[in-house]
Chains A and B, each alone.
Chain A
């Protein structure tokens, strides 16, 4: 295993260096972080890398751009000496054999080496056009890539500026990256002539994606990751283009260990939580210290509503990596769900000191204010987060929640809708839309949204219950439909037990006492297991007692009546009366039962 680990290390070491040299900072950061995350053999790695990227629920595309922008100053990879060795064998991980991919040799520092150096320094200082200009007549692959990449970045920078400049009364005009066409032309020529490396392919892929040719972009990115699998940015771009599991399965990927990272992350995004968790748990065997994997596992567990487990991981993560901001928004969501105010305030304070102009930081602070009940302030911070990253999905949704609290329904609907338009698979936002319309007294209209959300998350009992409540509402009163929904909710592990109780009630309302009794009994069992008692418990007992008496199964009826005697209130008296009448009936009195009417 040790030699295997050494191979990983060698590969990652070379990758971090190569990626850094090409100014692909976030990919280099990811590789370096993973490098120190490999389980130490003898001497543990003392310093972990600062903040590995992750893909939480925010779309990776937007985040990546952001990283491109801030990449220059925040992190600079240390160039390491040594060529690309150690490309021999991919080590089997968890019994899967991998295809080994040779680490490509870097271009030697040829005649243009000095110019490349200059261009790179320009790039590091974010003077992209200068960088491109310096490399104008260089023909080496590395130089060509950096020139194109610099042009792309220059275009992106200009686009961002233009987007604000061109904002008109009808919304933003269509600012585009002006370099895309020229870049596409050049890169496609290079690809045809075969003079393109995997980095160039990666750039070509994102250019194509920006131009809207998603199919081709996917093909190109697959080519790129197949020839150079260590570029995490390429993987995550590819993942953002895989919007359904069908697309994911149709990709023709080489079996490299990096593919596991990709698949796991893609599964998480596609809400295939079990599969994601399985893969991550296998990977963590090798990369024991990787913060990235830990954060992802925690995210999966949070998504599977395993809050305690996730919290433990996050706490540990924050202890080893105190200046981490990535994935911390998920942690804050978790703390919000657990309503631990102090921990949340602590976290907010910490990220605020680390870097307050990160969308995640704003989101965490907003979460804190929301938990405090200061919804206006919360909205303010969500808005700030969205200014920093317009495609920050969860911020839109959460801001929608805040607006709901503020009773500003049009704003809330708008926020949710934007979330849905960014990612139509976001069931929370659909659910939010449904809730708002239901609150506005439009249950029929709300049903459309609930249907959408339960279509995306068919195993979530909450969604089915919401839908059932719509059907059951005074306005609609479509009881049969409500029953169907509750049945679905009951099947998909309804922890709060609303479904069972409602099912029993609705059935008894419809006069189907057999079914009602069945559900009351089930509900009773559930409450006994959870040791909960209350009005529902009494109601169930009362119904069952009456039901069994009416069908003549007196023993059961007696049993429930006796249990009712433990409770105070009018039910106790009823139970006493009932017991007496049962006694009478059992002793062979004529079955004419007056008590039936009095009850």
Chain B
């Protein structure tokens, strides 16, 4: 659940409401619609007696006929803009569709439109239209006539209805608009104005008055003189429309076009599309120009309150707190939360139009959550829970519960006391008297939300809850809330099975419901929009290159297949399925299977790229790049990072920014550039300020990195202090998974500070933690540390250490990264070397092989410290073997690494990549 949860339109509700409420027609007639009506008439001419020509007159082939039909269909559904295109643009599109009749359609269209001179002409026009819809007597099945229930048929009927319910003033306005619409392409228009302008510089105003009078005469009283159209200055009063995406410059010449809005359906689809863009790539939408566009739309349609919601989203995406709060409140004040909020594909069966103001609170909570005010967010959510309970709004309640669990899992809170101040709020809603830890509350909330979602048949919420549960199971031990008697078994382990089950259920739910609920009104106009856009692109290139013959077929169906195929799965479903995939990658990251992480992240990046939000997409990239860094070394990772940064500018994507810092820090540590490492640590410290709203994981990571930097600088006591305080933090916030790694870090610190005895208990504790949390790779690493610690206790323990190393070797070699593998190899060699019973000359391979492997890996990582150790061991081994040349070579390498470590030159390099 994110801030975009509230976008979108209950189309079912909104379509019905205005029609009932105001008694107005569904559609407002505009010149553009008249033109489309005319073309529909050409497409499906009123049946003539006898003459059943297939295809009808101007068409040369069935394909030709169908193409016009498709064109008309897309015209009624496309939503690339909120204004209707000017005639010029329309004619251009028409020409692209109709390449065979040599512009016959265009001529016919313009002549028909310019022939509409009096109200009576319009009446006759619509009379004729009616003929299209009535089947002729004795029509057989093969006859072509328009099905009144088809998309075009409904459109036509709406137009006729709109005309019939129009007042005479309305007809006059329509006529004036039609004339203006035709004028916009009139070739003689520009010249005529120039002439007049030159002649009448002296008495410009008088001419204007004259022309005004003419205008008035012609359009308002219905006289048909029609000589001075070019002088009309009133057309200039319409402000030019500037769409913010400048790639379609066609629409920008809308100066002379009457500003006509598209149908409500198209407007809503347009707004949804804009919301999608905002979610997917907020950086592509400039704050102010988008606001200007929305303000324009708002002046044109003041009762379309959804625009305010878009403005809220826009402000939110650009981190403008004040504006977003303002717009949020304004939207809900006007719409009373009745304009539909959840799910764009609302079917009448699934009646989830959330009424009333509790949804406002939900959005407010999400807003505070987004801006990092968890306390306020919780207050808002708590109130939302209360109000939706009061109003029996179960679906909103379910969503709120989902949102709360999302919030609780994100922020670190040791307990809710003090955060949720009122005793009436969440705590008692759960129905348990005793105060619960935040994790327990979270679990209860999730389960409740799941139950509700299941009951109310909210598939996307259900799926979301399953995902959250999986996330919960991944990291937390489920303790029974209440345990009775001595027989109550308390099995303190995480259950990967549960995680897996939930992940699967989450996707299953979507497919279960997919057929009947989610895909009912799947057409959101995007197909039509991209079809049309493609058409204009094709004609554009045709115009510029003027190679007519080769480009002629560019606008055929085939070309649209890959760009514009309507996706069979609606975007929100796809998004949830994608999240499941990403979560699976995360789960494998914990359980320690590198190939599975890679695979899932790759699947996400390739299959769900279309529907994913920018933050999730960047997360997938982060995972892939992290894998690269661990397995292929830093240069490969930085190459990939550069690509990723191009795709997600670091100003917008915090994930990428963090990743950059992580990799830089690792490399600096390995290279021994401690100053740089410290500098990056400080940056982490800034990001993870102690404010409550900051992600708890970021906070822990900052501390871990600090401890590691101190460790690298050999300030053991300080490092231990940091790690200890981190451990207590993790304990306080119940971050058990992090505890395991912190314990391991502590063991590592004691190992480095030659306090192997002290390190042992930590390593053992970490190992047992890992076991109960199924963190296999971390466990292997802990075992390795344990082996190292034993080894450090003296050569008498070499045997035990060796067996430990062998124990963890399969896991490490299968899934471990370069560093871990090298460490294992070195430890292995060390075990052999320190074993008094082992003699090198007998079995030189047992030592040399792992050492060679280790030096190779460490070379890639530029890990000087360990590389030096490996070379040292190698030199020792060669010394035992008596191979002096090789010994000297290894020793030279050892020296090289030692000097690199002790005298780090050009440290600044560590910040560039």
Contact = CB atoms under 8 A, between A and B. Distances in A.
Given A178-B237, A442-B361, A475-B386, A172 B333 contact: no
A122 B208 CA distance: 20
A137 B206 contact: yes
A214 interface: no
A444 interface: yes
A476 interface: yes
B234 interface: yes
A66 to B, nearest CB: 21
A169 B28 contact: yes
Contacts of B213: 129, 133
Interface string A436-463: 0100111111001100000000000000
A65 interface: no
Contacts of B325: 448
Nearest to B25: A169
B169 A474 contact: no
B387 A441 contact: yes
A168 interface: yes
Contacts of A132: 209
Given A170-B18, A182-B208, A442 B301 contact: no
Contacts of B329: 448-449
B330 A171 contact: no
A452 to B, nearest CB: 9
Interface size class of B (residues with CB under 8 A): 35 or more
A176 interface: yes
Contact of A170 (B203, B301, B361, B424): B301
A170 B304 contact: yes
A193 to B, nearest CB: 13
A169 B22 contact: yes
A444 B167 CA distance: 48
- Among B212, B213, B336, B382, max chain A CB count under 10 A is at B212
B330 A476 contact: no
Contacts of B237: 176, 178, 180-181
A136 interface: yes
A182 B207 CA distance: 11
B360 interface: yes
Contacts of A441: 383, 386-387, 390
Nearest to B19: A169
B383 A443 contact: yes
Interface string B193-205: 0000000000111
Interface stretch (A73-81, A285-293, A409-417, A582-590): A409-417
B1 to A, nearest CB: 20
Nearest to B18: A169
Contacts of A475: 382-383, 386, 422, 424-425
A445 B383 contact: yes
A413 B267 CA distance: 25
A136 B424 contact: no
Contacts of B303: 169-171
B599 interface: no
Contact of A413 (B300, B336, B390): B336
B383 A444 contact: yes
Nearest to A180: B237
Contacts of B18: 169-170
A444 B379 contact: yes
Contacts of A413: 333, 336
A162 B338 CA distance: 29
A350 B330 CA distance: 39
Interface in B330-345: 330, 333-334, 336, 338
B206 A172 contact: no
A442 B206 contact: no
A175 to B, nearest CB: 10
Interface string B756-796: 00000000000000000000000000000000000000000
A166 interface: yes
Interface string B287-313: 000000000000111111000000000
A174 B259 contact: yes
A414 B336 contact: yes
A174 B300 CA distance: 5
B790 to A, nearest CB: 57
B424 A474 contact: yes
Contact of A171 (B234, B301, B421): B301
Interface string A335-359: 0000000000000000000000000
A514 B840 CA distance: 84
B642 interface: no
Contacts of A477: 421-423
Contact of B387 (A442, A448, A474): A442
Interface in B208-264: 208-209, 212-213, 216, 233-234, 236-237, 259, 261, 264
A478 interface: yes
A593 interface: no
A223 B906 CA distance: 67
Contacts of A166: 173
Contacts of B128: none
A168 B28 contact: yes
Contact of A137 (B203, B208, B333, B360): B203
A115 B24 CA distance: 47
Contacts of B299: 174
B234 A178 contact: yes
B330 A165 contact: no
Nearest to A424: B326
Contacts of B125: none
Interface in A166-197: 166, 168-174, 176, 178-182, 185-186
B170 interface: yes
Contacts of A524: none
Contacts of B357: 437, 440, 442, 445
B364 interface: yes
A182 B264 CA distance: 33
A133 B209 contact: yes
A283 B32 CA distance: 60
A451 B264 CA distance: 36
Contacts of B209: 132-133, 136, 151
Nearest to B337: A410
B722 interface: no
Contacts of A136: 206, 209
B236 A172 contact: no
Interface in B142-178: 167, 169-170, 173
A417 B425 CA distance: 30
Given A174-B300, A413-B336, A444-B361, A169 B24 contact: yes
Interface of A: 129, 132-133, 136-137, 147, 151, 161-162, 165-166, 168-174, 176, 178-182, 185-186, 410, 413-414, 416-417, 421, 433, 437, 440-445, 448-449, 474-478
Which 7 pairs show the lowest CB-CB distances between chains A and B? A171-B303, A170-B301, A171-B302, A417-B333, A410-B336, A165-B169, A169-B24
Given A444-B361, A476-B422, 4 more contacts: A133-B209, A168-B261, A171-B301, A440-B387
28 contacts: A129-B213, A132-B209, A136-B209, A137-B203, A165-B173, A166-B173, A168-B28, A168-B301, A169-B19, A169-B25, A169-B28, A170-B303, A172-B302, A173-B261, A174-B299, A179-B212, A181-B233, A185-B204, A417-B333, A421-B330, A441-B387, A442-B357, A444-B379, A448-B325, A474-B422, A475-B382, A475-B386, A475-B422
